[in-house]
Amino acid sequence: MAYLRDNLVKKNDPLFLIAKVRVSVPISSQNFQNGKSEFDYLVSKGTQIQIGNIVEVSFRNRTIWGVVYSLEYETRIKHSKLKQILSISGVSPIKLCNLEFLEKVSEWTMAPFGQVLRALLSAPNAYKDETPIFYYSLSSAAQFEMEKLSKARKKVINWCMQKPPVSINTLCKEIGVSRNTINSMFQEGQLERVQNSLKPKEDTQTILKHLKTAIGAASKLNLSTEQQQAADQIIVHENKFNIVLLDGVTGSGKTEVYFELVKRQILSGNQCLILLPEIALTAGWVDRFNRWFGFTPYIWHSGITASKKKIIWRDINEGYPGVVVGARSALFLPFSSLSVIVVDEEHDVGYKQEEQVIYNARDMAILRAKLAECNIILASATPSLESWTNMLSGRYQHITLTNRYGLATMPDIQTIDLTKNKPLFGKWISEPLISNIKEKLNSKQQVLLYLNRRGYAPISVCNGCGMKQSCHQCDSLLVTHRLSNLLRCHQCGVARPFENKCQSCGQTDTIQLVGPGVERLAEEVYELFPDARVTILSSDTLSNPKQIEPTIQSIEKGEVDIIIGTQMVSKGHHFPKLTCVAVIDGDFGLSGGDLRAGERTFQMLTQVAGRSGRENQRGTVFIQTSEPFHPVLQALKTQKRDNYFKLELEMRDSANMPPYRRLAAIIYSSIDETAITTYVKKLANLKPQFEDVYIHGPAPAPIYKIKGRHRFRFLVNAPKKVNMQKIIHGWHSSLVMPAIIRRQIDIDPYNFM
Ligand SMILES: [Zn+2]
Ligand SMILES: [Zn+2]
């Protein structure tokens, strides 16, 4: 593009520099134009500014935060039209590796850059300059004639003679005087004050000294020979980019192995990041960390307070040594000396973010490790097939732990054939399972009943007209929740009070509830085992780590006999008294159109089974199923995981599916059905032709309507070496997307609805 000479700021322009600032606003990337959210601002020469500085700028009549990506002398925009930067934050500039990381995430996910930048600029309090706080004390130079002073002033002077400097608020509160008194005493020179920044800047060496002392004083736990060998093999590749698949059976002590590596890095003054699936971030886990390290890590997830976020964000940006334990968003903290990343339970679907920037935190963690040139450890008892094939091809180092830690052994897994042992009508627990549970309860053992269905009943149908009660804005059935007495849509979250009245024909008392949810299962349990102490672990009743904690503790203490839980129980918990796990619906998830249904069911069941018998007593697992010979269940029963992986991989290979190839789902949605239909038809006509690249669609998405929006899907299937993003980009740049349509690109999709 040509531009006029007089629009240039000359190199020797005495007045201004041009800062290219990326703002944390997702610019509607109409055909991906200006997806970088980058704009030019003026900076007066001589201003202390550098790349990575967080700056405040005026943007579309708002004041927002942005990051300086480059500093130049030239701009294509007329000088008089440019605005000046409003302020530069006092925090250290963001390190280049972070800026590069954001850039790559945006490229990979095809999300507008401004949206990715938001993930980094997630703690506004951290870079806002705070109002200074002054601490008051008696002036060293002042001379008083006490008799001539007012009563209030005497009180202030007496108090200050005995106490250390405090803020004006504290003074007024403690002594009971007005702010005016203090202010005039200061103006007359009787008091003096010093500015006190909220957190005195410590130097890295002092912090490191504290951490070393804490680690030195922490209880020494010994690694088993197997654990030590595993750690030693990883240490060989320390301080360089190396991907480790730490593959250990449930309860084998993978955590201690990576703790050992984290400890080494902390002692060298570095930063470490441990990612956990959100719900596993319990106080129990943190206690375990504390015992090993003697200090508390930085804990980062969506639920922490703004003031905590501020401290963590600043410390990490300053490069202070420490460990961050967090959910996927912790990946976007501004690390400056990252030396090891751990992705615990790497197979967990919780790592997939499904909104705004759609990414898999495990994959982005690998990218981050590559840029930071550090070690990354993917830990799991049931690795994802993606990681498994990367290990087979030699890209990942494979380290195995085959024994359970201490005296624990692997549980005994049995299936209960539901075709031969059908539970009574409207009941879900079969006769053999009832007698086994009774036996366990009699011998004072803890039992977990696993059912991955929230609420009371998944379906409510009208006996009068036969209609299933469904959401008015989604193609989704309403789930009955008894505890909250609501009918809830699990797609959009909309809920209405439960009433025994058909929405369709208006008849009352005709609604019949079909199928089990955990609440309904609990009802059956109360009936069967009236003396048992029962608790439900489900995200409906417990939605954040703080709420979960008391329940987890009472389970650990043995104050609960029967736990009824959804998938949230399967993650990371260690219940020492639990010896029996029963899977109520072992068929759930095995069928259906989901590519990973088998793999996910296998992972889930292995994890749930792994909760059983983690201490001295051997655990038992019962799986109720109508397909006892299904390969997933056979592999579980015989504990021949690798055989199952082999079988599943052969199927994927012959179907041309991941992990051998790569998928991208592009979903278009709109409230306007005509507009969306026309648009996707036009796009279909423009489908590019590349060898061995298949673009399927447009097809109505399996859930066609969500929140009133009609949805169409294209699915791209390509070899892994193909740059899919480039193909998608090229395809779309030739057609303008009407503003009424929304596009969502999902590279490596997990959700096919
Ligand atoms: Zn009806
Ligand atoms: Zn809905």
Q: What is the pLDDT of residues 170-194, one digit of tens each?
A: 889 888 899 999 999 888 888 888 7
On whether both 284 and 418 belong to a single domain, the answer is: no
| CB of 243 closer than 8 Å to CB of 376 | yes
On whether both 429 and 546 belong to a single domain, the answer is: yes
Lowest mean pLDDT among 62-76, 151-165, 188-202: 188-202
Quick one: which H or E segment has residue 389?
helix 385-392
CATH number at residue 10: 3.40.1440.60
Residue 669 pLDDT more than 90?
A: yes
pLDDT, residue 109, reads: 94
Q: Which of 360, 296, 355, 372 is nearest to 328 (CA)?
A: 360
Which ligand is nearest the CA of 477, by number?
2
The whole-number average pLDDT for the span 436-452 is: 92
Which ligand is nearest the CA of 493, by number?
2
Q: How far is the CA of 492 from the centre of ligand 2 (A)?
A: 4
Q: What is the pLDDT of residues 517-528, one digit of tens each?
A: 999 999 999 999
Which ligand is nearest the CA of 706, by number?
2
| CB of 360 closer than 8 Å to CB of 331 | no
Higher pLDDT, 339 or 644: 339
Side chain identity at 322, as an amino acid letter?
Answer: G
Residue 198 pLDDT more than 50?
A: no
pLDDT, residue 4, reads: 32
Q: How far is the CA of 514 from the centre of ligand 1 (A)?
A: 15
Angle, helices 283-293 vs 545-556, to 10°: value is 80
Q: How far is the CA of 744 from the centre of ligand 2 (A)?
A: 19
Classify residue 126: in a domain, yes or no. Answer: no
Classify residue 22: in a domain, yes or no. Answer: yes
Task: Give the separation between CA 83 and CA 60, rounded to whole angstroms.
Answer: 11
On whether both 444 and 465 belong to a single domain, the answer is: no
Q: Give the chain's domain count.
A: 6
Which ligand is nearest the CA of 708, by number?
2
Higher pLDDT, 250 or 582: 582
Q: How far is the CA of 496 from the centre of ligand 2 (A)?
A: 11
Contacts of 283 (CB under 8 A, 6+ apart): 545, 549, 552, 553
Residue for token pair 């759609």: 358
On whether both 421 and 563 belong to a single domain, the answer is: yes
Q: How far is the CA of 497 from the centre of ligand 2 (A)?
A: 14
Length of the chain: 753
Classify residue 113: in a domain, yes or no. Answer: yes
Q: How far is the CA of 708 from the centre of ligand 1 (A)?
A: 23
| CB of 690 closer than 8 Å to CB of 727 | yes
The whole-number average pLDDT for the span 372-387 is: 95
Q: How far is the CA of 219 from the centre of ligand 1 (A)?
A: 65
| CB of 261 closer than 8 Å to CB of 377 | yes
Q: Write out the two tokens for 326.
A: 């967090």
Q: Write out the two tokens for 723.
A: 């740059």
Q: What percent of the chain has pLDDT over 70?
A: 92
Classify residue 407: in a domain, yes or no. Answer: no
Task: Give the separation between CA 182 and CA 136, rounded to whole angstroms.
Answer: 9
pLDDT, residue 196, reads: 60
Q: How far is the CA of 506 from the centre of ligand 1 (A)?
A: 6
> Within 10 A of 543 (CB to CB), how many other CB atoms are there?
13
Task: Give the separation between CA 520 and CA 456, rounded to whole angstroms.
Answer: 5
Q: How far is the CA of 494 from the centre of ligand 2 (A)?
A: 6
On whether both 690 and 582 belong to a single domain, the answer is: no
Residue 295 pLDDT more than 90?
A: yes
Q: How far is the CA of 510 from the centre of ligand 1 (A)?
A: 7
pLDDT, residue 411, reads: 79
Q: Write out the two tokens for 252.
A: 């084998």
Bridge partners of 21? 39, 68
Q: Write out the two tokens for 384.
A: 């994802």
DSSP for 90-137, written as a single string: SSPPPPHHHHHHHHHHHHHH---HHHHHHHHS--HHHHSPPPPEEEEE
- Cα angle value 293/299/304 (rounded, 5°): 155
Of 482, 515, 548, the residue at which a domain comes to its end is: 515
The whole-number average pLDDT for the span 471-490 is: 90
pLDDT, residue 6, reads: 38
Neighbours of ion ligand 2 (CB under 5 A): 471, 474, 489, 491-492, 494
pLDDT, residue 240, reads: 93
Task: Give the separation between CA 348 and CA 388, rounded to whole angstroms.
Answer: 14
Q: How far is the CA of 303 from the centre of ligand 2 (A)?
A: 25
Residue for token pair 């301080």: 239
Residue 200 pLDDT more than 60?
A: no
Quick one: which H or E segment has residue 308?
helix 306-318
pLDDT, residue 131, reads: 67
Q: What is the pLDDT of residues 254-280, one digit of tens each?
A: 999 999 999 999 999 999 999 998 766
pLDDT, residue 593, reads: 59
Q: How far is the CA of 676 from the centre of ligand 2 (A)?
A: 20
pLDDT, residue 713, reads: 93
Task: Give the separation between CA 379 and CA 244, rounded to whole angstroms.
Answer: 8
CATH number at residue 666: 3.30.70.600
Quick one: which H or E segment has residue 261?
helix 254-267
Classify residue 201: in a domain, yes or no. Answer: no
Which ligand is nearest the CA of 507, by number?
1
Q: Longest Cα pair distance anywhere in the chain, in angstroms?
A: 99
Q: How far is the CA of 101 from the centre of ligand 2 (A)?
A: 36
At residue 711, the 3 state secondary structure works out as: strand
On whether both 441 and 583 belong to a single domain, the answer is: yes
On whether both 525 and 462 belong to a single domain, the answer is: no
On whether both 285 and 163 belong to a single domain, the answer is: no
Confidence class of residue 592 from pLDDT cuts 50, 70 and 90?
Answer: low
Task: Give the separation between CA 375 and CA 362, rounded to whole angstroms.
Answer: 13
- Dihedral sign from CA coordinates of 519, 524, 526, 527: positive
Of 652, 678, 700, the residue at which a domain comes to its end is: 652
Q: How far is the CA of 38 from the centre of ligand 1 (A)?
A: 56
Classify residue 254: in a domain, yes or no. Answer: yes
Angle, helices 151-162 vs 168-175, to 10°: value is 110
Confidence class of residue 588 from pLDDT cuts 50, 70 and 90?
Answer: low
Q: How far is the CA of 589 from the centre of ligand 2 (A)?
A: 22
- Cα angle value 431/433/436 (rounded, 5°): 115
Higher pLDDT, 692 or 615: 692
Q: Which of 539, 289, 308, 572 is nearest to 330 (CA)?
A: 308
Side chain identity at 95, as an amino acid letter?
Answer: K
Higher pLDDT, 438 or 252: 438
| CB of 99 closer than 8 Å to CB of 336 | no
Distance of CA 275 to the CA centre of its chain: 8
| CB of 416 closer than 8 Å to CB of 428 | no
pTM (2 d.p.) = 0.82
Q: What percent of the chain has pLDDT over 90?
A: 52
Task: Give the separation between CA 280 and CA 380, rounded to whole angstroms.
Answer: 14
Classify residue 128: in a domain, yes or no. Answer: no
The whole-number average pLDDT for the span 488-497 is: 88
The whole-number average pLDDT for the span 341-350 is: 93
Confidence class of residue 2 from pLDDT cuts 50, 70 and 90?
Answer: very low
Q: How far is the CA of 437 from the centre of ligand 2 (A)?
A: 37
- Cα angle value 364/452/346 (rounded, 5°): 20
pLDDT, residue 409, reads: 66
Task: Give the separation between CA 252 and CA 233, rounded to whole angstroms.
Answer: 17
Task: Give the separation between CA 649 and CA 651, rounded to whole angstroms.
Answer: 5
Whole-angstrom distance between the N-terminal and C-terminal Cα of the chain?
A: 43
DSSP for 618-662, written as a single string: PPEEEEEES-TT-HHHHHHHTT-HHHHHHHHHHHHHHTT-TTSEE
| CB of 676 closer than 8 Å to CB of 683 | no
Q: How far is the CA of 708 from the centre of ligand 2 (A)?
A: 8
Bridge partners of 246? 379, 399
Higher pLDDT, 78 or 66: 66
Residue 12 pLDDT more than 80?
A: no
Q: What one-character DSSP code corresponds to residue 53?
A: -
Q: How far is the CA of 705 from the centre of ligand 1 (A)?
A: 22
Which ligand is nearest the CA of 509, by number?
1
Which ligand is nearest the CA of 500, by number?
1
Bridge partners of 477? 470
Q: Which of 244, 620, 228, 282 is nearest to 405 (CA)?
A: 228
Side chain identity at 418, as an amino acid letter?
Answer: L
Q: How far is the CA of 499 from the centre of ligand 1 (A)?
A: 13
Which ligand is nearest the CA of 478, by number?
2
pLDDT, residue 137, reads: 82
Cα separations in angstroms, 20 against 49, 68, 94, 104, 388: 12, 6, 15, 18, 42
Q: Which of 177, 174, 152 is nearest to 165 (CA)?
A: 174
Q: How far is the CA of 17 from the centre of ligand 2 (A)?
A: 52
Q: Which of 725, 439, 722, 751 is nearest to 594 (CA)?
A: 751
Q: How far is the CA of 576 from the centre of ligand 1 (A)?
A: 49
Q: How far is the CA of 464 from the centre of ligand 1 (A)?
A: 5
Q: How far is the CA of 593 from the centre of ligand 1 (A)?
A: 30
pLDDT, residue 201, reads: 57
Residue 5 pLDDT more than 50?
A: no
The whole-number average pLDDT for the span 513-520 is: 92
Bridge partners of 271? 322, 338
Which ligand is nearest the CA of 489, by number?
2
Which ligand is nearest the CA of 465, by number?
1
Q: Which of 147, 190, 138 is nearest to 165 (CA)?
A: 138
Bridge partners of 449? 564, 582
Of 515, 539, 564, the residue at which a domain comes to its end is: 515
Q: What is the pLDDT of residues 422-433, one digit of tens each?
A: 999 889 999 999
On whether both 214 and 345 belong to a single domain, the answer is: yes
Residue 133 pLDDT more than 50?
A: yes
Task: Give the separation between CA 167 and CA 160, rounded to whole angstroms.
Answer: 12
Q: What one-character DSSP code corresponds to residue 240?
A: S
The whole-number average pLDDT for the span 486-506 is: 88
On whether both 102 and 162 belong to a single domain, the answer is: no
| CB of 434 closer than 8 Å to CB of 427 | no
Task: Give the separation between CA 358 and CA 119, rounded to whole angstroms.
Answer: 12
Cα separations in angstroms, 486 against 387, 496, 497, 498, 564: 41, 6, 4, 5, 20
On whether both 64 and 173 belong to a single domain, the answer is: no
Q: How many CA atoms are closer than 13 Å to the CA of 397, on its beta-carbon side?
A: 18
Q: How far is the CA of 540 from the centre of ligand 1 (A)?
A: 28
Which ligand is nearest the CA of 461, by number?
1
Residue 484 pLDDT more than 50?
A: yes
Higher pLDDT, 133 or 171: 171
Classify residue 439: in a domain, yes or no. Answer: yes
On whether both 692 and 719 belong to a single domain, the answer is: yes
Q: How far is the CA of 426 from the centre of ligand 1 (A)?
A: 21
Three-class SS of 470-481: ECCCCCCEEEEE
CATH number at residue 637: 3.40.50.300
Domain that holds residue 507: 456-515
